[in-house]
Structure 1
Amino acid sequence: MSTSSESASAKTVNVRVKGVVQGVFYRKWTAENAKELGLKGWVRNRRDGTVEAVFSGDPQVVDNMLERCKRGPPAAVVTGLESSPSQEILGEAFELKPTC
């Protein structure tokens, strides 16, 4: 039963990050941070130059990850971050997805 209560209290968001976020290890950095925080989801580059991700987990942990994404890795220059609720069904891990 704890599984259903955990999923009921989970927060899932879709995120788009703008700025200098490709070619600066942003995806790898995002995956490492998400795994460290125990989040489920994925991250990928988009052809428009943004990075897209989905994070799912404890609401406070997801909010922590969003704050981290506003800074990104040292070489990144984040100029914008858009977040919206997501209903996406995710696997048990955090993964890197190919560019779309």
Structure 2
Amino acid sequence: MVVEADPHKKTDPSAEFDAPSPHNLASAGGGRTGAVPDLGERAVMTAMAGDNWLILKVLDGGAVFTVEAGADNFAETNGRAATDVDAVRAAMIEDMRELMATLKK
């Protein structure tokens, strides 16, 4: 899992938020991106490589927050149960809410 918080004190972070992720640029065909409601000013979740790499990106005030989570394969392997990708998405959103609340203190 990768977590980034990029505060911008002198510039508008919208340009960074709107720029494509390096993962999207490196991945042929990009990924599927959808809006995440009620999180920061704007938030998007991108699924790459099927659903094997998830990127949650949030613009809030003067900062851009990013949480990434991935696995080689969320499917059942070697007796390990398949990972519920929807549960991973929900956990990422909740973790982002907690991160943003903690950093605002």
TM-score (structure 2 length as normaliser): 0.30
TM-score (structure 1 length as normaliser): 0.31
Higher relative contact order (Cα pairs below 8 Å, separated by 6+ residues): 1
> Greater share of helix residues, 1 or 2?
1
Greater radius of gyration (CA):
2
